[in-house]
């Protein structure tokens, strides 16, 4: 497997401070993104996470990872640009409140959309086979075992699906464990991962061409439109897996094979207190130990009262938990994680990455 030597060509984090102006440009991404995720970090009012993608289109509106709502056309962005995005034409505090600070995370697909007929259900796909990321739009048919083409050419490890159709509320479904079609875990909930369940992925792991769907309305109702995000592991760029917490400040170390730029964790074995989806990145202030966290399933600002303070180290070859019994390091609990790189462990120039 070829290594990605410059991960920032495919994923980047950009921080900005709101200024309350209309059509605010968020720049510095370094490429034209196809998937952008925004969240306010500070301020008296908490706003939900907003996600946008080029397959649905900038004007399609926000999908909120912390809610089960359908697509919100009232809050679109204006455009995907060569170096970032332009926010809503009429300024709104959830995207650009004056004086609030925001985090935005951006992924590159192909900057184009193609029809895909690999599966039983035709799809529209923007796929980047180099970075292992694709965005898939499809309409369900309600048939268990129906397949949808994803365009990656290799089996995705992580698959995330959200119903878009106005007037219908559905949870976000993520395959669990990663790489399988056994069960599911929900991006907008604190719930633990399910056991074996054939209603979401029809008990079938994704393959090099398609993702298999069950019959639940969250992924395959005959009257609903859906968006799917697929991620395959790529050396030097992305890793999706699991680890066991040890409940110690000298916490569990997770090897990724690269220096992380972004890590998201979720306790999958219990749904007790503090089992939110925790999001860490290398751009927000706070060096090892990193102490800035946002919850993908929460509207809370950074380190809000629900998710609290968590600590993590980003190392040259992975990440290390640094809390005693924290939300990402409860003793004996199982966690899943998604990680994207800032640089590979050893680059093409044979220079090794260093810890933060």
**Average pLDDT per block of 10 residues along the chain, 356 residues long:** 90 98 98 98 94 98 97 97 98 96 98 98 98 98 98 98 92 98 97 95 98 98 96 97 94 96 95 85 88 93 81 95 82 96 71 62
Contact by Cβ (8 Å): 11, 4: no
Residue 326 has phi, psi (to 5 degrees) of -75, 175
* Strand residues in 207-252 grouped as ranges (E): 210-212, 225-231, 238-244
Nearest to 237 by CA among 130, 313, 158: 130
**What local confidence, expressed as pLDDT, does residue 157 receive?**
98
Instruction: Please state whether the peptide bond connecting residue 177 to the residue before it is cis, i.e. omega within 30 degrees of 0.
Output: yes
Per-residue confidence (pLDDT) for residue 309, from 0 to 100: 77
Determine the pLDDT at residue 324: 76
Sheet holding 318-321, edge to edge: 253-255, 318-321, 312-315
User: In the chain, helix, strand, coil percent, each to 5?
Assistant: 5, 35, 60
Strands (DSSP E) along 87-145, which ranges?
101-107, 114-116, 123-128, 133-139
Where does the chain have alpha helices with state H? Answer: 93-96, 198-201, 217-220
- What are the domain boundaries of the chain? 9-107, 114-231, 238-344
Q: How high is the pLDDT of residue 353?
A: 62
- pLDDT reported for residue 346: 63
User: Residues near 9 by Cβ (< 8 Å), separated by ≥ 6?
Assistant: 30, 31, 108, 131
Specify the 3-state DSSP secondary structure of 220. helix
Euclidean distance between CA atoms 172 and 162, whole angstroms:
5
């Amino acid at each position: 497997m070829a290594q990605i030597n410059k991960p920032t060509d495919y994923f980047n984090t950009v921080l900005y401070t709101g200024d309350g102006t209309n059509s605010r440009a968020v720049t510095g991404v370094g490429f034209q993104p196809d998937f952008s995720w925004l969240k306010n970090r500070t301020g008296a009012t908490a706003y939900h996470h907003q996600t946008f993608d080029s397959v649905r289109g900038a004007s399609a509106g926000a999908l909120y990872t912390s809610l089960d709502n359908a697509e919100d056309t009232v809050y679109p962005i204006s455009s995907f640009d060569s170096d970032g995005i332009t926010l809503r034409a009429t300024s709104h505090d959830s995207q650009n409140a004056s004086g609030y600070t925001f985090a935005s995370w951006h992924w590159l697909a192909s900057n184009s959309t193609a029809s895909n007929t690999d599966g039983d259900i035709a799809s529209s796909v923007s796929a980047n086979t180099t970075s292992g990321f694709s965005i898939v739009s499809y309409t369900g048919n309600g048939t268990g075992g129906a397949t949808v083409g994803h365009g990656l050419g290799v089996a995705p490890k992580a698959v995330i699906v959200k119903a878009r159709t106005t007037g219908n509320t559905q949870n976000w479904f993520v395959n669990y464990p990663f790489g399988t079609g056994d069960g599911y875990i929900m991006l907008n909930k604190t719930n633990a991962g399910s056991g074996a369940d054939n209603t979401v992925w029809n008990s079938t792991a994704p393959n090099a061409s398609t993702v298999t769907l069950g019959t639940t309305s969250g992924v395959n109702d005959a009257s609903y439109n859906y968006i799917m995000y697929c991620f395959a592991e790529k050396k030097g760029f992305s890793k999706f897996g699991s680890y066991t917490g040890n409940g110690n400040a000298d916490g569990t170390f997770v090897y990724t094979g690269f220096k992380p730029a972004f890590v998201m964790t979720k306790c999958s074995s219990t749904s007790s207190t503090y089992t939110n989806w925790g999001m860490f990145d290398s751009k927000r202030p706070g060096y090892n130990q990193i102490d800035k966290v946002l919850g993908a399933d929460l509207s809370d600002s950074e380190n809000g009262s629900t998710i609290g303070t968590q600590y993590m180290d980003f190392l040259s070859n992975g990440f290390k938990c640094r809390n005693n019994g924290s939300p990402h390091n409860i003793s004996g609990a199982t966690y899943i994680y998604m990680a994207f790189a800032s640089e590979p462990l050893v680059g093409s120039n044979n220079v090794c990455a260093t810890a933060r």
